[in-house]
Amino acid sequence: MQDVNASSATFEPCCLATTIGSLPHTDVALGTRLVLESTPEIPSWVQFPRRVFYENMMIQFTEGMPGLVEDTDGERVLDLLRQLSATLRDRHGFDR
């Protein structure tokens, strides 16, 4: 079995650039190529939130947050009234 901590090459960052991962591009091939050419030593997982709404970092990490709902455009919005109404209905039997 190979030791996962052993390496024949030592990685030295030497102040190399890295990225956050979200790009304003809608062309996946172009955006990915740009990242790989610009930061070949430390590439990032590229996201394209202008191409697909669900690639937005905030959308990925807020799923299931109380009061957060998707509106008719497929975007998430904070709807505290809807959350409060559901809580009152479920816990106290109140309905709008």
Q: Domain range holding 95?
A: 64-96
Q: What's the pLDDT score for residue 28?
A: 93
Q: What's the pLDDT score for residue 74?
A: 63
Q: What's the pLDDT score for residue 76?
A: 63
Identify whether residues 79 and 51 lie together within a single domain.
Answer: no
Residue 94 within a domain? yes
- pLDDT tens digit sequence for 13-72: 788 777 777 888 899 999 999 988 988 888 788 899 889 888 888 778 877 777 777 776
DSSP 90: H
Q: What's the pLDDT score for residue 30?
A: 93
76: Cβ–Cβ under 8 A, 6 or more apart, which residues?
Answer: 58, 59, 62, 68, 69, 70
Residue 39 within a domain? yes
Q: Which residue has the tokens 């799923």?
A: 63
Q: What's the pLDDT score for residue 94?
A: 66
Mapping DSSP to helix (H, G, I), strand (E, B) and coil, where does residue 61 land? helix
